[in-house]
Structure 1
Amino acid sequence: MQEELFTSGRNIPHIDPSLQIWHWPISTYLFLGGLAAGILFFAALFYVLGKEKQYPTAVKLATVISPIALSLGLIALLYDLTHKFYAWQLYTTFRIESPMSWGAWVLLIVTPLSFLWVFSYYSEIFPKWENKLQLLTKFKFLKTFELFLIKNRKYMAYALIPLTLVLGVYTGILLSAFNARPLWNNAILGPLFLVSGLSTGAAAIILLSKTTAEKHMFGKIDLVLIIVELALIVHMLMGMYAGSQVQLEAMQLLVNGEFTLMFFGFVVILGLIVPAILELIELIGYKVPVIVPALLVLLGGLIFRFVMVEAGQLTRFLY
């Protein structure tokens, strides 16, 4: 074990003047968690509304992404942990004031539910696999289990709606709980990350959808979410403009610093404004390849998390 002696509260390696503890796995995890939350939220919502047949991609097909995204996100999170073999201790208690505790428990519930939701549609999503492998025929208990899940799908949907909202908000609150980092220390990050996750979920559904009606519906939803996301970003920047000197200096990283091009160029313009314009043009009636705005929204959502995680770690309180 390496021992270090600190004689001052300043210039502590990896902590002051800037954090050096969260890298690409955390940004990737936040993106994948928000994406999965967005997809599962729409799947559960439209199922409860009785729109399963009208929007099959949202309710069935796109949900295949969710367990994969959550699994990869958890692998990235585990990879980033220093003491990997102690991660299980998060589940020995629940602390209501801890965002990490909330996130750990919500992920513990949502991840298996995402697998169960997909398996409840196994016969419909993977008919070719079933015809070839005959899993449900060979293993009767799997067929019984699928029927049980189909019968209780509505209960899963009612559980997923609030749980996915908590998961989406948590990805932002996880950062805003760090009071010592001015860029993160604002109440907008929770709603902002939630709306961004819902937007990337809608974009993924648009990419996979095969019907014009479904593409139009989620194009409208995504357009509204993009407008809300832009409003939240403006509100966040205005709030920091009206804040203390450290918040003004932290904001300079985004508006007049090393992250300005990434934030305004790739997130705000390419990731939000351009997709919104393209989706609006497509909704008016002009032909626009839906893959373009959908991919831009996904790319913008990913870069947004990288920017916020990296820039936030460079900010600190000095006054």
Structure 2
Amino acid sequence: YTTLRLQSPMSWGAWTLMIVTPLSLIWCALNIKILFPKWDWKYKWLYQLEAFFRKHQMPLAWMMLISSLILGVYTGILLSAFNARPLWNTSILGPLFLTSGLSTGAAAIVLISKNAAERLTFARIDLMLIGIELFLIIHMFMGFLASTQVHIDAASLFLGGAYTVPFWLFVVTLGLAIPALLELLEIRKFHMPYFIAPVMVIIGGLIFRFIIVYAGQASRWLY
């Protein structure tokens, strides 16, 4: 953690985690009374610390936003740096992971929010992010199929190979397409249980990460 290498995705990720973790804990502490109205810090210095961070809440929010975006894109960039794995070796992976993370984050807000207007707003945001995610997935495979044979072989893992059903069923269909349809219906005032779509998006995002990691290890240059 004490070594900073600007050319290393792993170093960027480690330092970003060092920043995001305490910032997240501070932000939770500032809002803990929303969940526990009778919360008592017990010590005066903790109240003083809370007052200090509350005074600087806006800069804190900006720091969290920037570091969270870096953290969201970091995993995809880290994987894409592994040239030995053709499936990971694409520049689309970083934006794809970021978009997926933003989508699942928006879905989580829809899931836990008690405000109907807020849920509707984030449903619209999530719908847009799902569209971007599908666009990136399509172009990722287009890039593979227009590249070298090893990249075509990597894409074939999802186009008739071992990961075809898990990816296209659980990620694309159940994790993206159907939730997008449900959110669109909700936006158009069709009343249905609001939690179904966000739960599907979150589970789909988790499965997406597992599949990309495992499928990436199955793709290689030498056969």
Same fold (TM over 0.5): yes
Match of 2:139 among 217, 235, 257: 235
Which amino acid in the other structure matches residue 29 of structure 2? F
**Mapped partners of 2:2, 2:24: distance in 1:** 23
Which residue of structure 1 lines up, in the alignment, with residue 85 of structure 2?
A: 181
C-alpha displacement of 1:236: 0.2
Which residue of structure 1 lines up, in the alignment, with residue 18 of structure 2?
A: 108
Which residue of structure 2 lines up, in the alignment, with residue 196 of structure 1?
A: 100
Sequence identity (%): 55
**Mapped partners of 1:140, 1:98: distance in 2:** 42
C-alpha displacement of 1:253: 0.6
Match of 2:8 among 98, 122, 130: 98
* Unmatched 5+ stretches in structure 1: 1-90
Match of 2:118 among 205, 214, 223: 214
5 Å-filtered alignment, 1:245-256, equals: 245-256=149-160
Match of 2:54 among 124, 134, 150: 150
Q: Per-residue CA shift, 1:136-183, capped at 9, x if unaligned?
A: 3x3111211111111011111121121111100001111111001000
Large movers: runs of 4+ above 6 Å: none
The 3 A distance-change label for structure 1 pair 142 and 92 is closer
5 Å-filtered alignment, 1:71-82, equals: none
C-alpha displacement of 1:317: 1.0
* Total equivalences in the alignment: 223
**Mapped partners of 1:292, 1:228: distance in 2:** 21
**Mapped partners of 1:294, 1:317: distance in 2:** 38
Which residue of structure 1 lines up, in the alignment, with residue 44 of structure 2?
A: 140
Provide the secondary structure at the position in 2 that maps to 1:185. Answer: coil
C-alpha displacement of 1:212: 1.0
Which amino acid in the other structure matches residue 113 of structure 1? L
C-alpha displacement of 1:123: 2.6
**Mapped partners of 1:146, 1:275: distance in 2:** 39
Which residue of structure 1 lines up, in the alignment, with residue 201 of structure 2?
A: 297
Which one has the largest radius of gyration?
1
**Mapped partners of 2:86, 2:33: distance in 1:** 50
Structure scoring higher RCO (CA < 8 A, sep ≥ 6) equals 1
Which residue of structure 1 lines up, in the alignment, with residue 37 of structure 2?
A: 127
Which residue of structure 2 lines up, in the alignment, with residue 33 of structure 1?
A: none
Match of 1:272 among 141, 152, 176: 176
**Mapped partners of 2:185, 2:172: distance in 1:** 18
Match of 2:69 among 126, 143, 165: 165
**Mapped partners of 1:312, 1:96: distance in 2:** 25
TM-score of the pair, normalised by structure 1: 0.68
**Mapped partners of 2:13, 2:177: distance in 1:** 31
